[in-house]
Amino acid sequence: MVAFRNGFPASPGQPPIVPRRHVTRLTDLEPDELTDLWLLGTSLCRDLERSLGASAFNLGMNVGRAAGQTVDHLYLHVIPRYQGDVADPRGGVRWVLPGRARCWGDK
């Protein structure tokens, strides 16, 4: 696995994690590659907390065209989040389907 500076970050410090072997789908990864992916992701989250003050993270993948995959290579988005970066962060990754994102009451 390799991580690098993102040319178009959604949030300051967002690195993609990319398998060195060409794969397009999560199910193409071998068990050791899955382990490496999550170990590197964990390490990056710790580093971004220390270096940039990230207070939370969204982690995600677009796997397949219907999910929004535009690059034919699998990668994990590690999106650092910062207190107050959006007015209401509830729902997180559920917002990829806006009509179904809201899953909480009006409390």
Query: What is the per-residue pLDDT for 104?
Result: 79
**Is 57:79 a contact under the CB 8 Å cutoff?**
yes
Q: 98 falls in which pLDDT band (50, 70, 90)? A: confident
13 Rama class: left (phi>0) / alpha (psi -120 to 50) / beta: left
* pTM (2 d.p.): 0.88
pLDDT for 106 beyond 70: no
Which class would CATH give 2-83? alpha beta
End-to-end CA distance of the chain: 42
pLDDT for 102 beyond 90: no
Q: Where are the domains of the chain?
A: 2-83
Task: For residues 86 and 8, give the distance between their C-alpha atoms in angstroms, rounded to a whole number.
Answer: 18
Mean pLDDT value across residues 70-90: 94
